[in-house]
Amino acid sequence: MPRMKRVTVSGVVLEQEIFNVAPNTKNLKGAIPKPLTERTAEEKEKYNLKQALKRFIRIVNHNFSPAAFYVTNTFDDAYLPKDFKAARRVLDNYIRRLQYAFPGMVAVAVMGRGKRSGRIHIHCIISGVDKKTIREKWTHGKIKRIEPLREHNFYNGIDHGRDYTALATYLFNHWTPEQGTVKRWRPTKTIQQPDRKKPMFPKRRYSLDKPPVTPKGYMLVEKRESAHYLGGYLLFKYVKIPPPATGLNAKMLC
């Protein structure tokens, strides 16, 4: 069974996936990891959810930096939408107003309900628009939060730099079946897709104990395997070595 390696670059994050493909696969260069065929409906749903989250994390990491803003939009009582369909129309109009002012702007947005209040609200990551315009174009309530993305993000005490996996996961999990749409986030058309290299034959046999050589300028931060794929699956995650943290970020290391 042929074994392949695929590299995906999403901003500062580089991932190397090692997976097997069926012997009769004709287009090896277009091969992707195949999940096991004998799965329950629940297992299929979990798999699809994990794949959607992986795609969203990669999109966030690939498109945004500390030049972007993390924004929380809330609704005043007079404008509180009755459901997510109405909220989506408001969100679409808000994005259009931002695009009219800044045609090249890039954004992703999600909708959710407050855990305590139950009120619908919106979270956005917006790049290419200034704070003043972000506030002015939102006419249905208040901007509860507007802050630049962090230069340094720490996971288990390790500085991953501009790796926004935690933020992306938090936003992704806002979706509920009540929203009535398969798409869990609202992207602008200016969103760029991560750089996915064509699969290639690995030079040697890899394992968790024997990972691929760490690319220059990166550090290995995660490695895991899964038995839910045909012939097994390995993932090695690297991030670009960030510059030293300063000020408040440096204190987080203590």
Q: Which of 172, 191, 49 is nearest to 112 (CA)?
A: 172
Strand ranges across the sheet with 120-127: 143-148, 69-74, 120-127, 106-113, 186-187
CB atoms inside a 10 Å sphere around CB 157: 8
186, 159, 190: which is closest to 64 by C-alpha?
Answer: 190
pLDDT of amino acid 231: 66
For the cut 50, the answer to whether the pLDDT of residue 253 exceeds it is no
Please report which residue ranges of 139-252 form alpha helices under DSSP H. Answer: 165-172, 248-251
Residue 99 confidence class, pLDDT cut points 50, 70, 90: very high
Token pair, residue 53, equals 């989250």
Contact 105, 127 (CB under 8 A): yes
pLDDT at 43: 78
At 201, the pLDDT band (50, 70, 90 cuts) reads: confident
pTM: 0.90
* pLDDT of 31 above 90: no
Torsion of CA 40, 41, 43, 48, to 10 degrees: 140
pLDDT score at 41: 81
Helix (H, G, I), strand (E, B) or coil at 145: strand
**Residue-wise pLDDT tens digits, 10-30:** 999 999 999 887 666 666 666
CB-CB contact of 8 with 195 (8 Å):
yes
Q: What is the mean pLDDT of residues 190-207?
A: 92
Mean pLDDT of 96-110: 98
Reported as a single tens digit per residue, the pLDDT across 40-91 is 788 788 888 899 999 999 999 999 999 999 999 999 999 999 999 999 999 9
Q: Is the pLDDT of residue 199 over 80?
A: yes
What is the Cα–Cα distance from 163 to 32, expressed in whole angstroms?
Answer: 24
Mean per-residue pLDDT, 214-220: 97
- CA torsion 169→45→175→152, rounded to 10°? 0
Kindly report the backbone phi and psi dihedral angles of residue 232, in degrees, each rounded to the nearest multiple of 5, phi listed first. 95, 170
Q: What does the pLDDT read at residue 19?
A: 87
251 confidence band (pLDDT: 50, 70, 90): very low
Return the percentage of the chain with pLDDT > 70, whole number: 87
Indicate the average pLDDT of the chain: 90
- Look up residue 134 and give its two tokens: 């972000």
